[in-house]
Amino acid sequence: MSAAAIAAGSIIEARYWQDKLESTAAQLMERSNDSAIEAALDQTFQANLPAHELLSRACEAAAESVVLPAAEGAANQALLVSIPLIAWSKYPIASGPVDEATLAPIRAHLFAHILADGVRAHISPFLYAIEQLPRGFSETRKLMRKLTQAALNGTSTRPDSTARESEAAEMPADARFLLVGVVAPVGAPIFLWQQDAQNEAHATHNECLLRWVEQCRPSLAKLVPGAAFECGLPDAYFHNCRQCDLRVRPYMLNSSLELVEDSLKVPASEIGVVVAGVGESRVDEYRISILRKGTSQVVHGVVWPLYGAEDDDEAPSPREALEAIFKEHRVGEVIRLPGTQTPEFCEDCGAPLFYDPEGEAVHAEFPEESEPPPVHYH
Ligand SMILES: [Zn+2]
């Protein structure tokens, strides 16, 4: 079906296929049949990449949005939205239940600076780490339905057991999300930047983000006490997941460099890094080994994944982005391994292995005499 959608000769036909794909995906999700969805995604990934891309988008749409038929009057469209934060700290970054006193001003700013007039919204009283987000499309759709129903009825919700029972991985930099169910009449704008788009004076994405940061930042800071953070624009759930994947990387690398400097008690000029392009046939990720300059014991490692169409032909390339961070951080030595390394993992714990200056894959380990950092990967 997604291959037929790619071949559509008109927008009318493409829309027909798009609706079919979405409604089929939604039916599978209602039956919690994630395995059928995953199988279709796998199959198109092997056979037809553009069709795969289209199918992925249809599945995301079915998981994060729904049209609610009205008993009378206009039907409503419901969307799962997230309020993203990228936080970094030497200490564990907060996640979990959020009290109403913290949530109330955030809700007010969301209505004032992000959502279009007349949109209804309900924020789940829980700060989600990535590990606590719903797993798979069906669970996402279930949560979307719950939060948007609460928005429609003006009722309250409790976080799901998956969220409450999962622990956030302790990373030096990580994403956090508040999840919001949002409801508007079909055809009406959901976000402020959609409203009065024909009018010159309408607010752009960027203006909304600026106002959001200016007004809401002090309230958002209460969610992640003791951490530095950057706030992203509240927007659709899957879009923000992808944005955060991209944006967390530089903070992760910077925090990890600082972590090693702190625990070895040396300045950045005494730190060396080894950069290896890793993948089966092309570079899928960079693995960055951090060590004391002039030695070969890898103290800490950072994975810098590449997403979608990212590769070294674009500008600035991922490699250039890395180099810029090393330069800004004044790292003492940068060793670039030539070629592409095959991905290797520890046989005991599954952790990714990192490359020493000679190109040998090793387990990253803090030396015993140094203060171990307050993070654990396994
Ligand atoms: Zn291991």
In a domain, 252, yes or no: no
Type of residue at 153: N
* In a shared domain, residues 42 and 76: no
State the distance from the centre of ligand 1 to the C-alpha of 366, rounded, in angstroms.
Answer: 13
* In a shared domain, residues 109 and 237: yes
pLDDT of residue 365: 87
Query: pLDDT truncated to tens, each residue of the chain (378 aa)?
Result: 888 888 889 999 999 999 999 999 999 999 999 999 999 999 998 888 889 999 999 999 999 999 998 877 789 999 999 999 999 998 899 999 999 999 999 999 999 999 999 999 999 999 999 999 999 999 999 999 999 999 999 999 988 888 888 888 888 899 999 999 999 999 999 999 999 877 777 788 999 999 999 999 999 999 999 999 999 999 999 999 999 999 999 999 999 999 899 889 999 999 999 999 999 888 899 999 999 999 999 999 999 999 877 766 676 788 888 999 999 999 999 999 999 999 999 998 888 999 999 999 999 988 776 665 555 444
The rounded distance, in Å, linking the Cα atoms of 200 and 9 is: 34
In a domain, 200, yes or no: yes
State the distance from the centre of ligand 1 to the C-alpha of 355, rounded, in angstroms.
Answer: 14
Whole-Å CA distances, 225 to 43, 191, 203, 269 = 45, 29, 31, 31
In a domain, 255, yes or no: no
* Residue 126: strand pairing partners: 97
* In a shared domain, residues 149 and 224: yes
State the distance from the centre of ligand 1 to the C-alpha of 154, rounded, in angstroms.
Answer: 49
* In a shared domain, residues 98 and 230: yes
* In a shared domain, residues 76 and 180: yes
Number of domains in the chain: 3
**Total-model pTM:** 0.88
- What DSSP character marks residue 306? -
Domain boundary (245, 279, 297) is at 245
Note down the domain range covering 287.
Answer: 265-362
- What DSSP character marks residue 357? T
State the distance from the centre of ligand 1 to the C-alpha of 247, rounded, in angstroms.
Answer: 27
State the distance from the centre of ligand 1 to the C-alpha of 287, rounded, in angstroms.
Answer: 16
State the distance from the centre of ligand 1 to the C-alpha of 94, rounded, in angstroms.
Answer: 26
State the distance from the centre of ligand 1 to the C-alpha of 349, rounded, in angstroms.
Answer: 4
SS3 96: strand
- What DSSP character marks residue 171? -
- The b/e string for 320-343 (b: 16+ C-beta within 10 A; e otherwise) is eebbebbeebebbbebebeeebeb
pLDDT of residue 377: 43
In a domain, 280, yes or no: yes
State the distance from the centre of ligand 1 to the C-alpha of 377, rounded, in angstroms.
Answer: 9
* In a shared domain, residues 38 and 17: yes
* In a shared domain, residues 331 and 233: no
Query: What phi and psi values does residue 177 have, to the nearest 5 degrees?
Result: -135, 140
The rounded distance, in Å, linking the Cα atoms of 369 and 378 is: 20
In a domain, 333, yes or no: yes
* In a shared domain, residues 98 and 209: yes
State the distance from the centre of ligand 1 to the C-alpha of 288, rounded, in angstroms.
Answer: 17
Tell me which residue of 100, 122, 109, 81 sits closest to 217, measured CA to CA: 109
In a domain, 369, yes or no: no
Give residues whose Cβ lies within 5 Å of ion ligand 1. 346, 348-349, 351
State the distance from the centre of ligand 1 to the C-alpha of 281, rounded, in angstroms.
Answer: 25
- Cite the DSSP H helix spans in the chain: 2-6, 11-30, 34-47, 49-64, 100-113, 136-153, 161-165, 205-221, 237-264, 318-329
pLDDT of residue 2: 81
Query: Cβ distance 49 to 160 under 8 Å?
Result: no
* In a shared domain, residues 190 and 291: no
In a domain, 105, yes or no: yes
* In a shared domain, residues 198 and 298: no
* In a shared domain, residues 9 and 148: no
In a domain, 296, yes or no: yes
- The b/e string for 172-211 (b: 16+ C-beta within 10 A; e otherwise) is bbbbbbbbbbbbbeeeebbbbbebeeeeeeebeeeebbeb
Domain boundary (187, 214, 245) is at 245
Query: Cβ distance 222 to 101 under 8 Å?
Result: no
* In a shared domain, residues 26 and 126: no
Query: Cβ distance 353 to 346 under 8 Å?
Result: yes
Domain boundary (245, 275, 301) is at 245
